[in-house]
Structure 1
């Protein structure tokens, strides 16, 4: 169809107007970011510098730390001025995603094979740290492997850029502001120069990926040179991880946990660190080790806890208090489980879990949050509406399913949303 001269003129005007609107929007966005950047620099000077100075940080170190540093708008969980925090649609952090994916073959095998080599290389240091802290070397190695692939992973970010950005415009601004001050204290003490302090996107430092406050509290000298260098010293990294776990209550002589089979007569809603009982009592309920071997005699009278990170869709475990010590390092059940499992593979040569991880976890965080809101409305404690299926959410799902004569699975799925909405 041929356009008339009038139609052509109108079309041109429309396109020109649209272009101006687009340019205006982009310009406004740029101006907004420029304004936020100006406020950020004021915040550093008016709020962070006085706090840093009171902690003994010199002006020279402060200026070196923030030389050329600007806001990093690519970081997750930012809440710029004029916006509100919400539940992210997509979960970026592997620890809170699909359970089976966390135990990918190449990840597990790589951490195991390199871990065995490191066990030989650092046998003396690992033995000394275990003697001093009670933490088995295999556990330290598994954490080191998970955090930085035994120091092989390149740490990408400027720590002051990350911590400054998150301290100014993130969902946990006060927490990251405190970590920013801790990072400045690390630089002031001479542990590492400000320009060399690299971190993850969350501000974690060095081979053990300590947050700055954890470095100040737990970093240790493992090679006897009088310094705690978690960036370059493997011995210091080993000693620091052991020190962290020791100071968080690792119980020497106890394992982290055991894969088990859970009969249908035992509810998956019994999961959680607040529902512990002796391993002997769990055994009396019909729970057995998946390997077919008995529980170690020394563990029988110790407290154990049911863990079903995928509900009825994956392996189940009886874990000990040491499992929850591991969660102090990273609050994910899957993280602590990975560490325990890889540690066992390194030292004992165990194979894969007996039970398979079924293909689940395809929901967005916002979908899980919708399920959590519905459960809360019906009086359940889900541990917070955050879109993450932690143990309180899992067992709340199980309790709701049981009360509605539905076979309990204790894990969120797409079919739950309409069912919960009907109640």
Structure 2
């Protein structure tokens, strides 16, 4: 006990470099933490000693993971980002990624037609949407998922900047092992601890994973039927509205402000239509959609394609909180089933700013009373429309997207 106290005090006083040099000591603390903190918690949740020992046998700290905060190390210092981490939205829609996800998705649609139809009948979630998520998350199971889930979650639970969150996820993973959904050797995850082909965090697995092949398990690592059923169940439980589409690419005339974007500014699609918004295809909006609520989406402001989306678009965002992710999924799903081509709207040459610069713009807008959704350096819909409102108020033509020239203008 005295040795532990002395070691902990020494680590607490040491810089990160010194802690890194004393990794064996930190490793011993990790093993003690597993036995003295994690096992009692897991046991209270019904995890047996045999399951715990099998799951944790041979695991050690993975020092290559990001966002680690070893015991005694100084907290990470926020630094000005020197990389242009905020790129053009158009880069998200890499042609090879789109074409690959579409091509393999069509093969999977034929191979799993019966399962997809059954899942759609049960949940109301279209098979094309399930396929697009599966393709985006793991390349339809073809992308290697390399990490031991218990090692990743254990490391991040013991010494990451979000230790409490990952500790809870480690307990959830142990409960999954106890239930026998997959043998220990199959419990693979991403570097962030996301599991299997749908890339569920363990807590999401416990809530949403489904048995699609009737064998009594939800094996999202090896069973394609379970993967399909689990993705559909996740979307259904998050509010997917059966019978509605995810959205439509549209033309937005100059008379309609880009600052009208957002899920809190919805109106019947027929009203958007009366304002002059039309589908790029030239076809009318479906009659059963016209009376329903829709929302303007302009992910690059006036510098890219525009959309009227439905509540189902925001269900897709529950899977990954990104407008571009949800748009990718909807677009690839449409290509898989309907053979649709690229977006009609062209992505402009925007982006390439430091996230720290975008965050500075957000703080300036916040000081003016705008709700930008947080100064995180990422231009979500609240930031985009706040820029548009500021541009309108200052007599500019609104573009609703951050540009380098705005930083100095906002700082005045």
Q: 8 Å contact 2:87–2:353 — kept in the other structure?
A: no
Q: TM-score, normalised by structure 1?
A: 0.88
Structure 1, unmatched stretches of 5+, are 1-23
Aligned partner of residue 404 in structure 2, secondary structure:
coil
Counterpart residue number, 2:74? 82
Structure 2, unmatched stretches of 5+, are 1-13
Deviation at 1:28, TM superposition (A): 2.5
Counterpart residue number, 1:270? 260
Counterpart residue number, 2:4? none
Distance 1:32 1:417, change over 3 A: farther
Distance 1:194 1:239, change over 3 A: same
Deviation at 1:56, TM superposition (A): 1.0
Distance 1:130 1:173, change over 3 A: same
Counterpart residue number, 1:6? none
Aligned partner of residue 228 in structure 2, secondary structure:
helix
Deviation at 1:91, TM superposition (A): 8.1
Deviation at 1:131, TM superposition (A): 0.8
Q: TM-score, normalised by structure 2?
A: 0.90
Select which of 385, 393, 396 maps to 2:386. Answer: 396
Aligned partner of residue 305 in structure 1, secondary structure:
strand
Distance 1:26 1:208, change over 3 A: closer
Counterpart residue number, 1:113? 103
Residues in 1 aligned to 2:254 and 2:244: alpha-carbon distance in whole angstroms: 28
Select which of 338, 352, 360 maps to 1:348. Answer: 338
Deviation at 1:36, TM superposition (A): 4.3
Counterpart residue number, 1:257? 247
Select which of 310, 313, 316 maps to 2:300. Answer: 310
| Alignment deviations for residues 254-309 of structure 1 (CA, whole Å, 9 cap, x no partner) | 00000011111111111111111110111111111111111000000111011111
Aligned residues: 397
Moved more, 405-414 or 39-48: 39-48
Select which of 41, 55, 59 maps to 2:49. Answer: 59
Residues in 2 aligned to 1:65 and 1:282: alpha-carbon distance in whole angstroms: 55
Moved more, 168-177 or 102-111: 168-177
| Alignment deviations for residues 56-82 of structure 1 (CA, whole Å, 9 cap, x no partner) | 112232233233323333323334432
Rg comparison, structure with higher value: 1
Counterpart residue number, 1:21? none
Deviation at 1:194, TM superposition (A): 3.0
Counterpart residue number, 2:230? 240
Superposition pairs of residues 23-422 of structure 1, within 5 angstroms: 28=18, 30-31=20-21, 33-80=23-70, 81-84=73-76, 86=78, 89=81, 97-422=87-412
Residues in 2 aligned to 1:389 and 1:69: alpha-carbon distance in whole angstroms: 39
Counterpart residue number, 1:14? none
Residues in 2 aligned to 1:27 and 1:173: alpha-carbon distance in whole angstroms: 20
Aligned partner of residue 337 in structure 1, secondary structure:
helix
| Alignment deviations for residues 74-104 of structure 1 (CA, whole Å, 9 cap, x no partner) | 32333443214637837899xx753111110
Deviation at 1:44, TM superposition (A): 3.0
